[in-house]
Amino acid sequence: MVWTKVADKGKIPSGKGEEFDVDGKKIAIFNKDGYYALDAMCAHQNNSIACGEIEGDIVECPYHSWHYNIKTGDLQDYLKGIKQQTYKVEVKDDGIYIDI
């Protein structure tokens, strides 16, 4: 367990997500009623879900509309058992950290 700072506080607008490179991994962090981090690359065709539209707890991949729960990483449609890895997020005084 290593907490790594990925961004300054306020970097990710409310209701949006952003992609970060952390230790060679592409991680999407969403600011939607709290912060949630998961692997950014969609299980469908390896495009980033970070800039997808969020409704409730669900982000829609902007490429072909697969849907993931931003809290659990679970794919919501098409295939069972597909899950993006999730990471704990903590907002500290000096920035946004994830446990990677």
Site of interaction with ligand FES (CB under 6 A): 42, 44-45, 47, 61, 63-66
Cβ 67 to ligand FES shortest distance, Å:
9
Cβ 6 to ligand FES shortest distance, Å:
22
CA distance 78 to 69: 14
Cβ 51 to ligand FES shortest distance, Å:
11
Q: Which is nearer to ligand FES, 65 or 85 (CB)?
A: 65
Burial-class residue 44 by CB neighbours within 10 Å (0-12, 13-18, 19+): middle
Q: Which is nearer to ligand FES, 35 or 66 (CB)?
A: 66
Q: Which is nearer to ligand FES, 11 or 64 (CB)?
A: 64
- Provide the sign of the torsion angle of the four alpha carbons 78, 79, 84, 90, taken in this order: positive
CA distance 98 to 4: 5
Residue 88: CB atoms within 10 A of its CB come to 13
CA distance 74 to 41: 13
Q: Which is nearer to ligand FES, 3 or 78 (CB)?
A: 78
Cβ 66 to ligand FES shortest distance, Å:
4
